[in-house]
Amino acid sequence: MSQDYLGNPLDTEHPQARKALDDFIGGFLGYHPRAEAILASAERHPESALSNALAGILLMFSESPEGPALAERYRQVAARVNAPHPRAALYLALLQAWMDEDLDQVLQLSETLLEHYPRDLFAAKLNQYVQFNRGNWPALLRIALKAVDGCGDVAQSHGMLAFAYEQCHLLEEAEASARQALALQHDEPWAQHALAHVMLTQGRIEEGIAFLERVSPHWQGLNSFMYTHNWWHLALFYLGRGDQARVLEIYDRHVWGVLPAYSQDQVGAVSLLARLELAGVDVGERWQALAPYLQQRHDDTVQPFLSVQYLYGLARADKPEAQRLLQALRERAREAPPFSRAVWAEVTVPLAEGLLAHARGEHTLALARLGVALPRLNEIGGSHAQRDLFAQIELDARLGAQDWAGAQQVLELRRRYDGLDVPTNRALARVYRALGLPGLAQAAVARVEEVLGR
């Protein structure tokens, strides 16, 4: 029986079908667009249940309400194959479970795949994706350790482990795994991404800028998510050092406009525009340019983490679809499957209400609703760096509500990570003046001047 490049069994001997399966696995793990060739290959090879099951799964990764309907045609073809290979049968069952929103079954089946086929890194990556969206970081680590045990010679396994360690706050282990991945493959983008997380969390801002600038040529040719997301990380480092012009340049050239209809490109744009505004930057008409794509998300409740950012972007653009999406989220909270109902009702809805209130300048209401959601933000997924947007919005609501004492506590805790962060120190100067502490205000101003004067 033929095998893929990792040594996993395939259900086809056709050279082109085998190449497409290799391209799918290698492309998906490496964030290359060649993974999408599985769609055409599946149509050409209806006898390959594995090709069609994986094509359907790829469409489920579109993170759109249309995903299940698009995947159905491939599921039907795979289901018609008589006596499919056991690996193909497991992936077909996984696809059906995902389309049915039975994510517990998706996780179980992906673990079963990894148990039967220890070098099936795609099964591990898929499992991590679902656990990531649930905010289950120890599960991310557990599956990554299994992946490295079975496929330790492959850079992507160590990149997966690095990110899992980082999300568990095991930063030294994360850096070691990332560097192991890069030793095996110098341009491994997920390992570069994990290392950026470590440097940001540890306040190694200048080192992070130098590292990401050095490796940024590697991102050319990657899929839009990895390309725009690694540039987004570089923008965060520059924002921390007050280089607003460079951040706007990165937004315009590398973050927005690569694949504007895609969910991850949209939330990356929303997040960076919001952070720029929170730092006092005039973003011009950029919200309006983003709005037409977000308006199509007016009833998109596929993932909480994505939906609340669509809503905030719509609200910042002053579009009525923001209110419509809020209503869709409330309806989703009532109708969600039992395993996720509490997350929608108790975290997502108050978070969305708080974000909408903040966008409308209703700071006291925003503070109240965000205060309900923030302690449980982990449950809606997103990385530490991504979820920090909501903490920054809550901080801005404190400033708007003139909760100077509360803001002082939050800001000084933030300064422990990066003492020279420009937006933090500018806010501290404002807070300490309001609190009647001019000496501390001047010290904050001096830190800003030190950074900008370099």
Sequence length of the chain is 454
Environment class of 436 (CB within 10 Å of its CB; exposed 0-12, middle 13-18, buried 19+): exposed
The Cα–Cα gap between 306 and 300 comes to 9
Q: 265 and 229 in contact (C-beta within 8 Å)? A: no
- 98 and 153 part of one domain: no
Q: CA torsion sign, 166 to 168 to 171 to 177?
A: negative
The Cα–Cα gap between 449 and 444 comes to 9
Cβ contacts of 295 within 8 Å, gap of 6 or more: 314, 319, 321
What proportions of the chain, in percent to the nearest 5, are helix, strand and coil? Answer: 75, 0, 25
Strands (E), 324-407: none
CATH of the domain at 201: 1.25.40.10
CA of 128: how far to CAs of 56, 122, 142, 378, 420, in Å?
A: 18, 10, 9, 15, 34
The Cα–Cα gap between 49 and 54 comes to 9
pLDDT reported for residue 263: 97
Q: Which two tokens stand for residue 353?
A: 């209400």
pLDDT reported for residue 291: 98
pLDDT reported for residue 339: 87
Instruction: Count CB-CB contacts under 10 A for residue 140.
Output: 26
Asked if the structure places residue 338 within a domain, the reply is: no
Number of domains in the chain: 3
Angle between the N-to-C axes of helices 422-434 and 438-452, in degrees from 0 to 180, rounded to the nearest 10:
160
Q: What is the residue-wise DSSP string for 90-145?
A: HHHHHHHHHHTT-HHHHHHHHHHHHHH-TT-HHHHHHHHHHHHHHT-HHHHHHHHH
- 94 and 122 part of one domain: yes
Asked if the structure places residue 351 within a domain, the reply is: no
Angle at 346 between CA 343 and CA 352, to 5 degrees: 90
Instruction: Count CB-CB contacts under 10 A for residue 240.
Output: 25
- 144 and 116 part of one domain: no
Asked if the structure places residue 443 within a domain, the reply is: yes
- 21 and 91 part of one domain: yes
- 42 and 143 part of one domain: no
Supply the DSSP symbol for 300: -
pLDDT reported for residue 454: 80
- 118 and 143 part of one domain: no
- 23 and 149 part of one domain: no
Q: 438 and 428 in contact (C-beta within 8 Å)? A: no
- 128 and 25 part of one domain: yes
Environment class of 283 (CB within 10 Å of its CB; exposed 0-12, middle 13-18, buried 19+): middle
The Cα–Cα gap between 342 and 319 comes to 28
pLDDT reported for residue 243: 98
The Cα–Cα gap between 46 and 191 comes to 36
One-letter amino acid for residue 227 of the chain:
Y
382: left (phi over 0), alpha (psi -120 to 50) or beta: left
**Structural domain span for residue 65:** 1-134
The Cα–Cα gap between 120 and 138 comes to 20
pLDDT reported for residue 364: 98
- 189 and 64 part of one domain: no
Last residue of a domain, one of 166, 189, 222: 222
- 5 and 124 part of one domain: yes
Asked if the structure places residue 152 within a domain, the reply is: yes
Last residue of a domain, one of 222, 240, 268: 222
Instruction: Count CB-CB contacts under 10 A for residue 318.
Output: 12
- 1 and 111 part of one domain: yes
Asked if the structure places residue 164 within a domain, the reply is: yes
Q: Which two tokens stand for residue 105?
A: 């079954």
pLDDT reported for residue 379: 96
Asked if the structure places residue 84 within a domain, the reply is: yes
pLDDT tens, the chain, 454 aa long: 799 999 999 999 999 999 999 999 999 999 999 999 999 999 999 999 999 999 999 999 999 999 999 999 999 999 999 999 999 999 999 999 999 999 999 999 999 999 999 999 999 999 999 999 999 999 999 999 999 999 999 999 999 999 999 999 999 999 999 999 999 999 999 999 999 999 999 999 999 999 999 999 999 999 999 999 999 999 999 999 999 999 999 999 999 999 999 999 999 999 999 999 999 999 999 999 999 999 999 999 999 999 999 999 999 999 999 999 999 999 999 999 988 999 999 999 999 999 999 999 999 999 999 999 999 999 999 999 999 999 999 999 999 999 999 999 999 999 999 999 999 999 999 999 999 999 999 999 999 999 999 8
Last residue of a domain, one of 76, 100, 134: 134
Asked if the structure places residue 330 within a domain, the reply is: no
Q: 176 and 163 in contact (C-beta within 8 Å)? A: no
Environment class of 405 (CB within 10 Å of its CB; exposed 0-12, middle 13-18, buried 19+): exposed
Asked if the structure places residue 11 within a domain, the reply is: yes
- 84 and 112 part of one domain: yes
- Residue linked to tokens 């990570």: 417
